[in-house]
Amino acid sequence: MITELKQHLWMATPHGEARCIMVIDYGQEDDLYWICIQQDKDYKGQIWTWHNSEVRVMNNRSMLR
């Protein structure tokens, strides 16, 4: 199942910061896959799909958390 996120999540990826726009869930047998738009330097604007173990959700900057 592909789920479009209504509010993008800021993620830390192997290529730097990214905005996650969708999540792919292949079911209980598999991990999630995060579709992200990269925001840092060389990869800016590129769309990458990251395995769940490769990304982390970043702090909420607007809430100072």
pLDDT of residue 61: 67
pLDDT of residue 41: 86
CA 38 to chain centre: 9
pLDDT tens-digit readout, 24-33: 999 988 889 9
pLDDT of residue 29: 85
pLDDT of residue 64: 60
User: In the predicted model, what is the mean pLDDT of the chain?
Assistant: 91
Percent of the chain exceeding pLDDT 70 equals 92
**Cα 42 from Cα 63, distance rounded (Å):** 28
CA 9 to chain centre: 6
